[in-house]
A = this chain, B = another copy of it.
Amino acid sequence: MLAITDEPLDILAVRAAVLDKTCGGVALFEGIVRADDDGTRCVVALEYEAHHSMAIAEFERIARDVHVRFSGARIAMVHRIGRVRVGEPAVVVAVAAAHREQAFLGCRYAIDELKMHAQIWKKEHFSDGSADWRANDA
């Protein structure tokens, strides 16, 4: 399951997509919208936009990498687009592997790669009504 959706994310569905009888550990990461406060204003929501086909192609590249680098680990990764409110997940990554080391490393690798390379953008909406696009740190 590699997907971009404008629906709320279903964590159990992402998890279920990676489980099989060979798996001894599942590491799952959720990126959650945080009520970030810069002193004068507070984030109330994030709005995501994606170049759908390029982002999915990047997810597929990451999934292949995870499988090869982390002993056949299986990955599912879903990113939400549109408006996501504080406390809701914007992205869910699940990685299953025979042992926990590979599950943790694969999951961390995947979210790091997604944040650096997937063609997805984020606009911060603040409590004072202002809004601005915000890039990830390089």
Within 8 A of B (CB), among A68-115: 86-87, 89, 96, 98, 100, 103-104, 107-108, 111
Q: How many copies does the complex hold?
A: 2
A32 touches B27 (CB 8 A): no
Residue contact B35 to A25, C-beta cutoff 8 Å: no
Q: Which residue of B lies closest to A34 (CB)?
A: B24
Q: Which B residues touch A111, using CB under 8 A?
A: 100
Contact of A25 with B32 at beta-carbon distance under 8 Å, contacts A12-B11, A111-B100 already known: yes
Nearest CB in chain B: distance from A83 CB, A: 17
Scoring A27, A33, A35 by chain B CB atoms within 10 A of each residue's CB, the highest score goes to: A27
Give A88's nearest chain B residue, CB to CB.
B19
